[in-house]
Copies of this chain bind each other. A is one copy, B any other.
Amino acid sequence: MPRSPRYLILADENFGPETSKTANACIRYTPDHVVGVIDRRQAGRTAQQVLGFGGAIPVVATLDEGLALKPNALLIGIAPAGGQIPPDWVRLVGRAIEHTLEIWSGLHSFIGDIPELAALAKQHGVTIHDLRRPPAKLPVSNGRVREVAATVVLTVGTDCNIGKMTTQLQLLGKLRARGIRTSFAATGQTGILIEGRGIGVDAVVADFIGGAAESLVLECAAESDLVLVEGQGSIIHPSYSGVTYGLLHGSLPHAQIMCAQPSRTAINRCEWVKIPPLVDFIRMSEAAAAPLRPAPVIGVALNTYDLDEASALRAVETVHRETGLPTTDPVRFDPAPVVDAIARFHETRPR
């Protein structure tokens, strides 16, 4: 990233709590590096007003208004299904390049592969960062993770966009504060943006999903004693389950943290797939891992942003009682119950 990034975030007409995942994570974890958000529908409001966090970061209607905020980079902050770049964005990105903004994108369709933008970037000496571009060479996975000493913990979830990355980021600092050398293995474009390293496992050639996960965990394990792996998708997601399973069987976690949203009863945009009761879903997740390496679910991270405080607390208590597992909303409440569970597991697991 630029030495001191000042991101202008493009969120088109989709800036919101559930619709602009990359923008939101960037605002949550690196707010000092965000100068503004482009969304003509929300223009005039602040990030705080739209998301419930992010303070005074302004939302503007156009690129020109955004340029007045003195950004040095344009970040594509939303990820449309399928990841294809809409044609009208090409013009906007082109104008940003002409204003010498670096380009950061997590789309499947690479900005740097659009000839006119690549040419413009070259002409203006601007770097284009395509976060999902996979490494040139990836191996096929074959259980090499079993040979490292580090403890591997994977977040899994009932659906996409439910807290698998956010949970790991909330836990990371707390585990480090306890003196455990902990690393974060970023597997999606937003995690990579925040961590500055990682592999977008959903963007590699299908045969190499597991290999990408394995490579990344090995790299993280070489410099830490506990690896927090960012999960992807869901084992029941009709579009993305392949990525979910490849990541599970490539990263071979010792333990799983289950992410769920109490109010969500079906897969988003695939409502025909009902989410089973959480106790059953936990059993399914453990069964999916077991033939390769047993990975018990040792804690639950709930996403209660759409519940009032009392309902959120009640949801945490209910899930704790039903599953018998340490449970919290690691964003809204103290992450300690799940932090404790991971620390205890890490210190006591048989080696």
Contacts and interface: CB of A to CB of B under 8 A. Distances in A.
A83 interface: yes
9 contacts: A140-B240, A204-B206, A205-B205, A210-B241, A211-B239, A242-B242, A242-B245, A242-B246, A273-B291
Task: Say which size band chain A's interface belongs to.
Answer: 35 or more
A209 interface: yes
A143 B272 contact: yes
A249 B238 contact: yes
Main secondary structure of the interface of A (DSSP, over half): mixed
A338 interface: no
Interface of A: 81-83, 108, 139-143, 146, 201-211, 235-250, 252, 269-270, 272-274, 276, 284, 287, 291-292
Interface centre among A83, A201, A245, A273 (most CB of B within 10 A): A245
Contacts of A284: 287, 291
10 interchain residue pairs of minimum CB distance: A242-B246, A209-B242, A236-B291, A245-B245, A242-B242, A202-B207, A140-B239, A241-B249, A241-B245, A206-B209
Given A202-B207, A246-B206, A276-B291, A269 B81 contact: no
A139 B242 contact: no
A239 B270 contact: no
A273 B294 CA distance: 12
A284 B283 CA distance: 13
Interface centre among A205, A238, A245, A248 (most CB of B within 10 A): A238
Given A108-B205, A143-B270, A241-B246, 17 more contacts: A82-B139, A108-B207, A143-B273, A146-B272, A201-B206, A202-B206, A203-B207, A205-B205, A206-B209, A206-B246, A207-B239, A235-B245, A238-B250, A238-B292, A242-B246, A244-B245, A284-B287
